[in-house]
Amino acid sequence: MKLTLRTDLALRVLMYCALNDGLARKHDIAAACGASVNHLGQVIHALGQAGFIRTARGRGGGIVLARPPARQAIGAVVRLFEARGPDDCFGDCNRPCPLIADCRLRPVLSEALEAFWGVLDSYTLADLTEGNGRLAGAMGIGAVAAPDHAGVNPAVALPLAQRRAAPQWARAAKARNLRMK
């Protein structure tokens, strides 16, 4: 199954929010993901409507997870943006399948689809982000580490500009988009 760009962006938004301390800004997420701010806005709106994130508008606004990462199932996010699966085996044709009464393919595809959802449902956002400092670095957030003995998270001590710096590929994509306009 090929996931849509919207599903990919939704998962990236949630991972960014899980790794980020405090409110995340749409422009920062777009830069980190190399995505269009407008397209990302549509995904953020859908995530907010579904209760995955809370959003605040205005100058001091941003995006934050509505629930802890351990309570955000990956399968639920994917279901929000993906079709349930093939209705008539491959679903894209405009006519019903003439073989449906005798075909054994449909139950096989249904079983495969249930296995797919079962695996996605067994993982949470925490499984993807906790202890994954390299992902945080790739998203330009800075290393996210467990608090040290003094109780200070080393990532918080990094300068804001360093935590917000987009990875090189995202800066190049943004430069390309600006030249195209």
Residue 15 has pLDDT above 90, yes or no: yes
Task: Give residue 180's pLDDT band: very low, low, confident or very high (50, 70, 90).
Answer: very low
Residue 164 has pLDDT above 70, yes or no: no
Domains identified in the chain and CATH numbers: 5-83+123-180 (1.10.10.10)
Q: What is the pLDDT of residue 89?
A: 59
Task: Give residue 166's pLDDT band: very low, low, confident or very high (50, 70, 90).
Answer: very low
pTM listed for this prediction: 0.70
Interatomic CA distance for residues 26 and 37, integer angstroms: 7
Q: What is the pLDDT of residue 1?
A: 66
Cα separation values, 70 from 67, 128, 130, Å: 8, 10, 9
